[in-house]
Amino acid sequence: MYAQCPECLSVFSLGAQALVQAHGYVLCGHCGAGFDSLATLSEQLPPEPFREMPLNEQALAPPRIELVVYRPQRPAPEPVVVAEAAPAAAAEDFSQLVFAPRFAMKSRKHKPPRTGRRPRAARDADRQRRWPWVLVCVALAIALAGEVAWIDRDDLVRTPLAGGLLRGACDALGCRLPLVAAPKQLRLLASNVETHPNAANALMISLSLRNDAAFAQPWPVVVVTLSDAQGHRLSMRRLLPTDYLDDPVVLSHGLAPGATTALLLEVQDPGEAAVAYQFDFE
């Protein structure tokens, strides 16, 4: 068979193998141009001289070929083997089969094997090793609670519930709670100011005082303020407990809860202009 290059018009002889490799598309060995060899493919050359080979017109429908040269025989079908019928269904008992879901089988597959209980001796040994740590933790907790209670001891004693528990515990143990000052719970019952009978330019003040707190508190600091008729302060004196009490035992025990006491105070007389007086407790 023959085909012509459309660029250089060279005519080439080619066989079926060259046509099959690229479905008729070949490269010209003279000018290197690529072209479709099926366009001018022919079994014979036209009479010479000629310039261009005629183009093959493309048919609208594929041609039908009739001349059969060879037809291979089909292989014989393999015989179908029919399996023997299984025994009767009544002979098999499926009543005891248990079907588990797929997720249950997966979880069962990944579930770790269950181990037996540890021996009693090992458990007892673990308890014995654990007890010292438990005691240390309890001791640290008690120490921490005691430190917090010591820091806030004044507030705890003032609290009715906590103060009552602490006082009850101290009464049972024979200890004493520290004295906590609560000057706002001291009530002045009576007061009197008069000229000192034994000292010149001095005043004698007598006070009746009651402790309304539920706990004993230290003896207060008494603040005496003397003013004139217009309210101008003429003098002020802060009297410490040691200024009006001489007994150290009484000072150390403080003013008992609900107790009433009388105080005698001696201050300097600011003169006849002092007509008003005021008492405060610290």
Secondary structure letter of residue 227 according to DSSP: E
pLDDT in tens, 175-194: 777 788 889 999 999 999 99
Say if residues 269 and 203 touch (Cβ distance below 8 Å): yes
The Cα 220–Cα 44 span in angstroms is 143
User: DSSP of 130-194, one letter per residue?
Assistant: HHHHHHHHHHHHHHHHHHHHHHTHHHHHHSHHHHHHHHHHHHHHT--PPP---GGGEEEEEEEEE
For residue 86, the model assigns a pLDDT of 52
Residues in contact with 156: Cβ distance below 8 Å, sequence separation at least 6, in sequence order: 149, 162, 163, 166
pLDDT in tens, 38-82: 899 988 888 888 889 998 887 777 878 777 777 788 787 777 766
> How large is the C-alpha radius of gyration of the chain?
62
Classify burial at 183, counting beta carbons within 10 Å of its beta carbon; exposed 0-12, middle 13-18, buried 19 or more. Answer: middle
For residue 94, the model assigns a pLDDT of 66
For residue 239, the model assigns a pLDDT of 92
Which residues of the chain, if any, have pLDDT below 50? Answer: none
